[in-house]
Amino acid sequence: MDNWGKSTKITYKRWKDPEPGDDVNDHSNEGRDTGEICTITSSVDSASTYGSTQSEETFTVDEALEAIGFGWFQWKISLLTGLSWIGDAMEMMILSILGPQLHCEWMLPGYKVALITSVVFIGMGISSPVWGNVSDKFGRKVGLTLCMCWTLYYGILSSFAPVYVWLLVLRGLVGFGIGGAPQSVTLYSEFLPLKTRGICIMMIAAFWAIGAVFEVLMALWVMPTLGWRWLLGLSTIPMAIFVSFCFWLPESPRYDMLTGRSDKAIATLERIAKDNGKPMPQGRIIAYRQKERGRIKDLFTAQYCSTTLLLWFIWFSNAFCYYGIVLLTTEMFQAGDDCGTTQQAKTEPSCKLECKYLTSADYKDLLWTTLAEFPGLLVILLAVEYVGRKKSMALCFFMFSLFVLPLFACIGRTALTIFIFLARAFISGGYQVVFVYTPEVFPTENRALAMGTCSAMAKVGALITPFVAQVLLRTSVYLTLAVYCACSVVAGAASMLLPIETLGRGLRETGPDPDTEGRTSATNRQSNGPTAEQ
């Protein structure tokens, strides 16, 4: 990683002398029919700072981040945004622990247990586009901070829920807040140079794995002594830490430039350069200024329609399969010998679960399968940079279905743990690849909204999966596993059909231009005004 902080050599285009008959004052291209306005957005002070000797030189946010490189600033923002991922993972992982506990303590039927899980995902599905729209209109920092404060508040309140109905309402409100957690990836990705973006977003996914493992360890300690209310309350600790330090979090310079706040963008870039010990590029900063942001119709333009629809299904399948295998873990571990063939294998195996509290052995096996998050990330970390984003997603879906197949045999507990471990490793890795791909394929003007709508589709899959993994499982193990296998195979095919591979592709500020595919976003359109070129 030492070479991440090295500066990238940048070549700039200089001002062209105006041709005879051209208006020499028309340097802003404001009157040209380009569909966008390419403007010099630096303030007088910033121009004098960076352009006193070479005022004709220009640079973009992309080029500034490449010149500054990866350093101490990115490590700090990795830790802070990672806290939101830890909190998100803990709130999700607790669902597989809370269900069996309340099933026994409150004597809940199966559909009510499944509803405790689904109501969280209903809240997330409703709120994800809302938080995406807030982040596109008011800023990434604003959206992420508000959703974490919301989740913290209702997460603590839910630990005091007196009855089932109140628990449903409060957990649904927790889900509404968690729906904005993916905006941490949107914010984080916009601070990363091109050559480290894929690896870094995959590395921040390790915080999700840490959160999931930490939740199981805490449940192993808290549940036998203090109970589920304390577990709900203690699970909000990472979000409380995030809220305490969110004042440090800067706004994305890409977002500031897109909204015309160049002075704030330059101040943020100066701050990054200072932390990383690198000089700022010389010249004046430019960007495409966009007044209309966060419009849902922009996701369905000719360039993005097929990508949007395919990604919606891929996100749906990722969440459906990932949370399905998480819930199946506790359900099948509890089944024990009850999950077997009967009547000389003439009937399908069935899981007839009675009220059973999770034992220490169940928690330990759950811990082992949760640790699958880490090897899954390591494998995909290499694949995503060498094989590509699309093929990596497809690989994960196909391998998941392959390792779910042995579960049809209703194998012993040890083999069951191994195959669930492998299946979860690949589906968790695939889930992280889509978090890399989505912010790369959509431009800054609607990146947060795209993440929000995709996340909403994921929550649709997540809210359906409890009724498969916790309700349908008790009717037919074969049918349950067949549903997950089929969904993952179709999603793998959809991954290969995505029209754009984003490996080595810079983040765009505005919509793509087919003639300049592969360049950084600031150089997508050539004009007679000042531009910058890597």
Question: What would the DSSP string read from start to end of 109-159?
Answer: -HHHHHHHHHHHHHHHHHHHHHHHHHHHHH-HHHHHHHHHHHHHHHHHHHT
The reported pLDDT for the residue numbered 230 is: 92
> Is residue 310 pLDDT above 90, yes or no?
yes
10 Å Cβ neighbour count for 169? 16
Q: How many CB atoms lie within 10 A of CB 283?
A: 24
Q: Which of 262, 289, 316 is the last residue of a domain?
A: 289
Owning domain of residue 82: 57-289
**Which 3 state secondary structure label does DSSP give 281?**
coil
If we measure between CA atoms, which residue out of 134, 133, 161, 128 comes closest to residue 146? 134
Average pLDDT, rounded, for the chain: 74
Distance from first CA to last CA of the chain, Å, rounded? 22
Nearest CA among 450, 428, 424 for reference residue 502: 450
Examine residue 92 and state whether it is found in any structural domain, yes or no.
Answer: yes
Confidence of residue 294 (pLDDT cuts 50, 70, 90): low
**311 and 279, same domain (yes or no):** no
The answer on 309 and 236 residing in a single domain is no
Range of weakest confidence among 228-232, 359-363, 457-461: 359-363
Residue 279 placed within a domain: yes
Whether the pLDDT of residue 316 is over 90: the answer is yes
Highest mean pLDDT among 80-89, 286-295, 314-323: 314-323
Residues 273, 130 share a domain: yes
> Higher confidence at residue 246 or residue 60?
246
Kindly tell me the number of DSSP H helices and DSSP E strands found in the chain.
19, 5
- Shared domain for 271 and 311, answered yes or no, is no
Better-scored residue on pLDDT, 391 or 56 = 391
108 within some domain? yes
**179-225 pLDDT, tens per residue?**
888 788 778 888 888 777 777 777 777 888 888 888 888 888 888 88
Same domain, 312 and 270: no
* Lookup: tokens for 459: 């929550």
- Give Cα separations from 175 to 10, 116, 158, 168, 501 (angstroms): 44, 11, 11, 10, 32
Question: Which bin fits 531, alpha (ψ -120 to 50), beta or left (φ > 0)?
Answer: beta
Residue 465 lies in a domain: yes
In a shared domain, residues 268 and 375: no
Higher pLDDT, 1 or 477: 477
Nearest-CA neighbor of 228 among 123, 108, 329?
Answer: 108
Q: Report yes or no on 24 lying in a domain.
A: no
Report pLDDT digits (tens) over 387-420: 888 888 999 999 999 988 888 776 777 787 788 8
**DSSP assigned state of 340:** B
Question: Are both 264 and 219 inside the same structural domain?
Answer: yes
Cβ–Cβ < 8 Å for 277, 53: no
More confident residue, 513 or 425: 425
Q: Kindly state whether residues 156 and 233 are assigned to the same domain.
A: yes
Comparing 403 with 260, the larger pLDDT belongs to 403
Which domain CATH number covers 328? 1.20.1250.20
In a domain, 404, yes or no: yes
pLDDT at 49 over 60: no
Report in angstroms the alpha-carbon separations of 103 from 56, 113, 395, 451: 70, 6, 37, 34
Query: What's the confidence (pLDDT) of residue 181?
Result: 83
Count of the separate structural domains present in the chain: 2
pLDDT tops 90 at residue 494: yes
Q: CA–CA separation, 123 vs 225, rounded Å?
A: 30
Q: How far, rounded to the nearest angstrom, does the alpha carbon of residue 103 sit from its chain's CA centroid?
A: 31
Residues in the chain: 534
Inform me whether the pLDDT recorded for 22 exceeds 60.
Answer: no
Report whether pLDDT(166) > 70.
yes
Residue 285: inside a domain, yes or no? yes
Query: Within this chain, do residues 196 and 100 fall inside the same structural domain, yes or no?
Result: yes
Residue 363 and residue 233 share a domain = no
pTM (two decimals): 0.64
Residue 163: Cβ-neighbour burial (10 angstroms; 0-12, 13-18, 19+): exposed
Residue 293 pLDDT > 90: no
Average pLDDT over residues 112-118: 79
In a domain, 222, yes or no: yes
> Are both 209 and 325 inside the same structural domain?
no
Other Cβ atoms within 10 Å of 360 Cβ, number: 10
**86 close to 211: Cβ distance less than 8 angstroms:** yes
Across 348-361, average pLDDT: 57
Strand ranges of the sheet holding 37-40, from the earlier edge strand across to the other edge: 37-40, 284-289, 58-59
Q: How far apart are CA 46 and CA 54, in angstroms?
A: 13
Task: Please check whether residues 264 and 314 belong to one and the same domain.
Answer: no
pLDDT at 506: 64
Phi, psi of 37 (to 5 degrees): -115, 115
